[in-house]
Amino acid sequence: MSEIIIRDKVLEVDIFEALQKVKSQIYNGKLNNIRLIGDSISVPCPFHKDGLERHNSCTINCGDSSEIPPGTFHCFTCSESGGLDKFIGACFDKDKYFGEQWLLENYSYNLLKKSLDLPPIDLTQQTKEKKYLDESILDGFSDYHPYMSKRKLSDEVIKKFDIKYDPLSKCLVFPVRDLNGKISFLTRRSTEGKKFIIGKGADKSVIYLLYNIIKENISEVIVCESQINALTCWSYGYPAIALLGAGTTEDQIKSLNNTNIKRYILCYDGDYAGRKGAYRFKKLIRKDVFVDEIKLPEGKDINDLTKEEFDNLVYELPL
């Protein structure tokens, strides 16, 4: 079973079984060849040739181990992509909103079951005191590595936010501070690949660099997914925070709603996960603030752009 997010609800869906059910309900010849291949499903694309192509050109992710959300599809012929709701809607010759409703009608019982299966709350359990890392932990790392400059981080930003290099793990090290300025946990980014590591036991309610935004009384911020992207924004002259992923937790939203930030500029990665993350943020954030969005080119993030390219995207925003 895979977790599919529909209208901010989490449904448990067997994607292969769901496609078989769709096939049994349509009479237009689409989905005539559904094949499960490892953590993906091979299917005919419903967006071209009326869904009647002879050889499958579309894949749907049904695994939970990759960074691609379950249910995400991509056609290698027409380049159409999106979520399971959009795919199912097209199979019925409808839009994604039809697909959303179909999923809710057929799998809402899984949402109910999941709610009923929650463990009982132990009212006698005491709130655990937060544990912090001592500042001295940063003394064991190097102050600079050429990779920092390669990722467009200015010397001022490197020093301001205590960016370090760990020669043992060959990673950049980012101290993540809570609203009191104490180091809650460390994250790492490999200098030799794309591996990103969040410290064990990390408090996922903490927002990277929000402490600095509040300390400096900044009311307009750019919201990013990763630390590198947030730091790139600061290097380009734009205060930013990072949510440590495309998702937004309810605790993160509570933290933001208790600040004096008046305007959020969303700048998520140019992919399906980023678009879904931006949508979730806009749905959850309080309604008395301004929310604008920079839509990056497909497959790009902030660090892929030059300062001039990023400036142009910012200048296109409404004042």
pTM of this prediction? 0.61
Q: What is the mean pLDDT of residues 59-86?
A: 86
pLDDT reading at 12 higher than 90:
no
Query: Are 99 and 230 contained in the same domain?
Result: no
Per residue, what are the HEC states of 175-217? Answer: EEECCCCCEEEEEEEECCCCCEEECCCCCCCCCECHHHHHHCC
**What's 95's domain CATH number?**
3.90.580
214's tokens: 């509040």
Our count of domains for the chain comes to 2
Same domain, 306 and 208: yes
| Co-location of 91 and 153 in the same domain | no
Shared domain check, 289 and 147? yes
Residue 116's pLDDT is 46
Co-location of 198 and 257 in the same domain = yes
**Is there a single domain that holds both residue 203 and residue 67?**
no
Query: Does residue 181 share a domain with residue 66?
Result: no
Asked whether residue 81 falls in the same domain as residue 140, the answer is: no
Q: By percentage, how much of the chain surpasses pLDDT 90?
A: 53
Range of the domain at 71: 2-116
- For residue 228, the SS3 value is helix
Same-domain status, 22 and 161: no
Tally of CB atoms within 10 A around 231: 29
Are 305 and 189 found together in one domain? yes
65, 87, 116 - which closes a domain: 116
Query: Quick check: is 239 in a domain?
Result: yes
- Same domain, yes or no, for 87 and 150? no
Q: Per residue in 206-231, pLDDT tens?
A: 999 999 999 999 999 999 999 999 99
Q: What is the pLDDT of residue 123?
A: 47
What CATH number does residue 301 fall under?
A: 3.40.1360.10
Please indicate, yes or no, whether residues 105 and 142 belong to a single structural domain of this protein: no
